[in-house]
Structures are given as structure tokens and as C-alpha cells.
Amino acid sequence: MFPILQNAFLSVTKGTSEPAKLHEIHYNGGSSDTQPILLVGKGVTFDTGGISLKPSAGMKLMRGDMGGAAAVCSAALAVAQLGLPINLKVLTPLCENMPGPSANKPGDIVYAMNGKSVEIDNTDAEGRLVLADALYYGSTTFKPHTIVHVASLTGGMSVALGEAFTGVYTNSDSLWQELDSAGAREHDRFWRMPLDDEYGPQIHSSSADLCNIGGRAAISCTDALFLKAFVDGVEPGKDGATAVVRWAHLDIAGTMETTRGYAYQDKGLTGCPTRALIEIMKATAP
């Protein structure tokens, strides 16, 4: 049975002749009553920016905009090869973002799978639309205890951290500690960024529940808040109880490629953060 994908994801594909795909991987290495880990990876196989077209210089790198999907699929393959005693679910929403006569236009409003309306202010901010439906589908269907999603999402992250660290937004101190430790062991390093509702008005002040971009200021922070709105169980309970699910958003816009190369990594696309994801799941195994 296939999920009913709503307009947030499917709207991104309106300008291309290539159909959208939602790729699922199910690895059942633990007991049937054990909650799974969920990995989600952005899989935009080529990103022109759509109607909000990117500059042509360097656009060929956007073949790597599926780096998040590649990383989580590679981590899943390693988990299976290692035979780890965990349950793992992997989702990779796959599509192109192209201009065309039916493509999204700035000012359009679409509805995500969870019913939230989203104003599209910039069609080059498509990654969060692609991920929104996948995150809601995965969090409500599989009821994971931990969700980690990986995406080459914002140029602002590249400006902030360059090629050295992957930015992390999370609601969980324990998950952050696991990520930080795994990244240090594998030289696949992370830096924790502020996940704070103070940035909320930048994406809440629109003609819809959310706007897909909140301006240049703190752009990676507003993107994290946008994605958080589509993860079921990520907020604390009304009685002050802790959140049901541990969640982390990994923005690899800077670390998806190295332009310098060094002893551990040649120039080019890096596969970050595959190694760290494998370490986290090894540490999770009983």
C-alpha cells in the first residue's frame, strides 16, 4: 500500500516530466515490538530552482542535491551488512525541481499531508516541501523513537559553517550527544545550531499556515522550524512531559562537497554524514 502524497511534495514535480517517487527501505533486525529508527533523506535529483531559477554558474553541482538520500540509503546498506539488531525505516522522496508551464509559482499555496497550508514564496526553497510530507508520513506511520533527516538544504548553512561541520537542529540533548560523539569518532563533524521559536514569525507571517522561506536572516534556523512542524510527536506534551520522539535535522549544504580535499577526503562530493549515521545506529543496538 502506497501513501497518499499531498501537494507539498508533488507540487515540486509539476515542472518536470519525471514522476515523483517515494523510496522506502525496511530493515527488521530487532524484535517486532521494538520501535524503529527513521532516517529521511532529501532526494532532489536535479535542482534548477524552478521558476526562481538558480544562476547557471555551478548549477551542475545540483546533481548532488540528492546527497541526503544517498547518505541514508548507504547507511541502511551498512546496517544490513553488519546485521545490527535494530529496526530501521528509511524514506527518500525523489524528484526533480524544474521550470515548466505547470511549475510552482511564487505566491502559490499548497497543502501538506498533515493539512497545513504552505505559501511558496521562492520555488528554490523546494527541499522543505519535499521533506514535509515524508516526515509526516514516516512519523505517523512507523512511530519511531528517533528521527534523523539529512538534506542539502540552505546556502546559509554553507555560509555559517563552511565545509568543516554539518549543522544540526534537534529537540533532544541525548540525540545531540550521540551525533556529536559519532561525528568526532568518524571525523564527520557536527555543530549544534539554535532551534528557537524566536525565529518563528519569519515563516508564520504569510497568507498560509507557513511560508516556505523566511528571508535571508537565519535562513537555516527558519528552515529547521518549518520542518519541525511536520514531525508528529516532536513537541512536548501539554502537561510538560518530554517529546515523544527524538528528532534531528542535519543540513549538509556545506559538507556535501569539499573543494579543497585533504588526507581523509578527496575533492568532490563527500557522502556526509554516512559514517556518523552508521556509528549512531551501532551505538543504539542492544
How far apart CA 274 and CA 183 sit, in angstroms, is 10
How far apart CA 234 and CA 232 sit, in angstroms, is 6
DSSP string, 221-282: HHHHHHHHTT-TT-SPPTTSPPPSSEEEEEE-TTTTEESS-BTTB-SEE--TTHHHHHHHHH
DSSP character at residue 14: G
How far apart CA 7 and CA 283 sit, in angstroms, is 37
Q: Which residue among the candidates 89, 128, 189, 275 is catalytic per the annotation?
A: 128
How far apart CA 195 and CA 28 sit, in angstroms, is 32
Three-class DSSP category at 250? strand
CA–centroid distance for 57 within its chain: 25
How far apart CA 92 and CA 149 sit, in angstroms, is 10
How far apart CA 225 and CA 171 sit, in angstroms, is 11
Q: Which residue among the candidates 54, 105, 143, 282 is catalytic per the annotation?
A: 54
How far apart CA 119 and CA 98 sit, in angstroms, is 18
Would residue 275 show up in a list of annotated catalytic residues for this protein? no
| Helix (H) / strand (E) containing 95 | strand 87-97
How far apart CA 48 and CA 167 sit, in angstroms, is 24
DSSP character at residue 274: H
Would residue 54 show up in a list of annotated catalytic residues for this protein? yes
93 and 149 in contact (C-beta within 8 Å)?
Answer: no
Amino acid of residue 164: A
Return the active site residues.
54, 128
